[in-house]
């Protein structure tokens, strides 16, 4: 079974071909990604209109390149999958329309993929993990703890009530004067910093729900920056930046571990024992967070699965794999499937009141 996957929900244009072998294992035949970071860097964030135009300019040749690198023709495919949301609607439309057109032209089954579901299932692509498992989904737009019970079966145990974790990293990075996207710069600066210098809050610690809140922590960092700038005559010293980053990152790690503890209790009560704790999304590439979670889950006797960095950020392989997961269950989608700016994994979960999907 071979599926082409197309991803255009934010600022990466991606196309990939993934194969399922007779033994049930996955093989990534190609995984092409074109980033738009340079186009958006001057604005300090992703500009939706620019993102959509950039997707239009490169999507055709990127699909062509993915097919060529995989060494397959369209006749060799068993399906064509495209991310249908959630995301920036202009970008979603570009990839979804491309996927539909290719499926229509080739007569192959079309699969509309929830971008978040693709992240949720990536651990099955890389590690073949069996259901159920606990997913920590952490990215620029999403911070959720989800019980993954099966394909299409997701129970949200916790979410952020304000900022997403990746968004908080980027905003703190901006305070430090780092370029966009700033998360990796914060992580690097934290390596030489003193994590105990600043007593930053751990929002939601000890609460019986598994929800997150990052705005208070972000505000506490901003207040420290403003105080230091007054003391320093308007400019932070290098050691101030390192200590702030280390203190912020440590507060984030403590918060994540506390929230996972609560989520595991909820998971066990509702679904039994998870087979693993899985981390997905762009923030999963943070090595300090991964090390802390490895140590924490080892104490519990639970495996921790963190897919390789290039499969944690947005990519076409995760879309293709989600398509394979649906296709082998006999599922496909109609050509009038509408693009979605918001598409929660757990439709039954209570809405959160901060304007995010």
- Structural domain contains residue 347: no
| Cα gap 42→141, rounded to integer Å | 20
Same domain? For 49 and 113 the reply is yes
Same domain? For 149 and 116 the reply is no
pLDDT band at 41 (very low <50, low <70, confident <90, very high): low
- Structural domain contains residue 332: no
Same domain? For 117 and 159 the reply is no
Same domain? For 122 and 186 the reply is no
Same domain? For 270 and 320 the reply is no
Same domain? For 275 and 296 the reply is yes
What is the distance of C-alpha 258 from the center of its chain? Answer: 20
For the chain, the average pLDDT equals 93
**pLDDT given at position 93:** 96
Same domain? For 141 and 66 the reply is no
In total, the chain counts a number of residues equal to 357
Same domain? For 58 and 162 the reply is no
Same domain? For 143 and 112 the reply is no
- Structural domain contains residue 57: yes
- Structural domain contains residue 350: no
Enter the tokens of residue 187: 């992580």
> Could you report the per-residue pLDDT of 1-31, keeping only the tens digit for each?
999 999 999 888 999 999 998 888 899 999 9
Instruction: Characterize the bridge pairing of strands 153-159 and 277-280.
Output: unpaired
Same domain? For 135 and 284 the reply is yes
Same domain? For 112 and 144 the reply is no
Enter the tokens of residue 271: 């679904």
- Structural domain contains residue 251: yes
Residue 255's domain comprises 131-302
> Could you report the per-residue pLDDT of 166-219, keeping only the tens digit for each?
999 999 999 999 988 899 999 999 999 999 999 999 999 989 999 999 999 999
Enter the pTM of the model.
0.92
> Could you report the per-residue pLDDT of 104-143, keeping only the tens digit for each?
999 999 999 999 999 999 999 999 999 999 999 998 788 9
- Structural domain contains residue 146: yes
Enter the tokens of residue 89: 């609607």
| Cα gap 9→212, rounded to integer Å | 24
110 neighbors 79 (Cβ within 8 angstroms): yes
- Structural domain contains residue 337: no
Same domain? For 204 and 298 the reply is yes
User: Could you give the number of structural domains in the chain?
Assistant: 2
- Structural domain contains residue 298: yes
């Amino acid at each position: 079974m071979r599926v082409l996957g197309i991803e255009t929900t934010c600022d990466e244009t991606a196309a990939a071909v993934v194969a399922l072998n007779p033994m049930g294992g996955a093989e990534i035949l190609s995984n092409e990604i074109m980033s738009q970071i340079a186009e958006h860097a001057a604005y300090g964030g992703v500009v939706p209109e620019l993102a959509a135009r950039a997707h239009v300019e490169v999507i055709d040749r990127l699909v062509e390149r993915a097919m060529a690198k995989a060494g397959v023709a369209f006749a060799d495919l068993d399906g064509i999958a495209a991310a249908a949301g959630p995301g920036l609607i202009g970008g979603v439309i570009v990839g979804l329309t491309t996927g539909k057109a290719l499926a229509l032209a080739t007569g192959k089954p079309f699969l509309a993929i929830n971008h978040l579901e693709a992240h949720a299932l990536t651990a099955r692509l890389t590690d073949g993990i069996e259901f159920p498992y606990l997913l920590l989904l952490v990215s620029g737009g999403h911070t959720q703890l989800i019980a993954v019970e099966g394909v299409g079966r997701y129970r949200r145990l916790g979410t952020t009530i304000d900022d997403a974790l990746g968004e908080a990293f980027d905003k703190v990075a901006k305070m430090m004067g780092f370029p966009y996207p700033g998360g990796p710069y914060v992580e690097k600066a934290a390596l030489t910093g003193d994590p105990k210098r600043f007593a930053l809050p751990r929002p939601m610690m000890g609460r019986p729900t598994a929800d997150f809140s990052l705005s208070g922590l972000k505000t506490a960092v901003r207040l420290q920056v403003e105080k230091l700038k007054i003391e320093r005559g308007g400019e932070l010293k290098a050691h101030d930046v390192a200590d702030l980053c280390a203190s912020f990152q440590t507060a984030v790690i403590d918060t994540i571990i506390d929230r996972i503890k609560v989520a595991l209790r909820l998971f066990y009560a509702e679904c039994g024992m998870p087979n693993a704790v899985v981390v997905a999304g762009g923030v999963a590439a943070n090595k300090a967070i991964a090390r802390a979670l490895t140590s924490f889950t080892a104490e519990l006797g639970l495996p921790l699965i963190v897919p390789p960095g290039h499969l944690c950020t947005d990519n076409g392989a995760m879309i293709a794999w989600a398509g394979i997961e649906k296709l082998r269950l006999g599922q496909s989608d109609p050509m009038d499937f509408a693009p979605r700016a918001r598409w929660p994994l757990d439709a039954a979960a209570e809405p959160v009141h901060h304007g995010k999907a």
